[in-house]
Amino acid sequence: MINVVLVNPEIPNNTGNIVRTCAVTGAKLHIIEPCGFSWEDKYLKRSGLDYWEISDVNRYENMQAFLSVNFGDKADTCDNVALAVKNTKVNSGAQFFFASTKSDHNHTDVKYNEDCWVFFGRETKGLDEELLHENYADCVRIPMRKEARSLNLANSVAIIIYEYHRQHGYKGLNEVGKLTKSFN
């Protein structure tokens, strides 16, 4: 399963849309606080529609709590967040990717393991550069025009989730639709 990790998201509509995308694809969503919005925000709820009930959303007070809950005794507890993430990745053997416009690897150039973790940063700044530096070999980018700054966060998450599913043959997803009305 693909695990989507949002680090300090700021815009409720984006997070709500990501909840919906994760719900329809079976991705697990991890949200690391602080967020730039209230969890009672009407835009957050509206964007997620009724998909909140079928989504797997987990919230964490900070990166250390995220690492501890998901990787237990393999989680590094050092004060430097970038090193803690890097060391946890190494100690656990988990596959981590870091989505960033600052990467030189395209998101389609990597092989996503069945179980992987993809980190996305906040809308205004992305992921911390120190985190990217410590894990640069595992950074991926979505190609875009040189003049453009970045894609919308919700769109970026969707693109990478669907690349993951494409590589895994859309396992568990319904690939066939049908009309609901008869046109005779």
pLDDT for 45 = 63
Model confidence band, residue 47 (pLDDT cutoffs 50, 70, 90): low
Q: Span 149-164, mean pLDDT? A: 96
Report CA dihedral (69, 72, 74, 78) to the nearest 10 degrees: 60
pLDDT for 41 = 54
Model confidence band, residue 55 (pLDDT cutoffs 50, 70, 90): confident
* Residue 19 near residue 53, CB atoms below 8 Å: no
Q: Smallest Cα–Cα separation from 39: which of 62, 65, 21, 58? A: 58
- Domain spanning 2-167: CATH 3.40.1280.10: yes
Q: Decide if pLDDT at 107 tops 80.
A: yes
Q: Decide if pLDDT at 49 tops 90.
A: no
DSSP conformation class of 59: E
Q: What percent of the chain clears pLDDT 70, i.e. is strictly above it?
A: 95
Return the domain boundaries, the chain.
Answer: 2-167
Q: Structure tokens of 83?
A: 């090193």
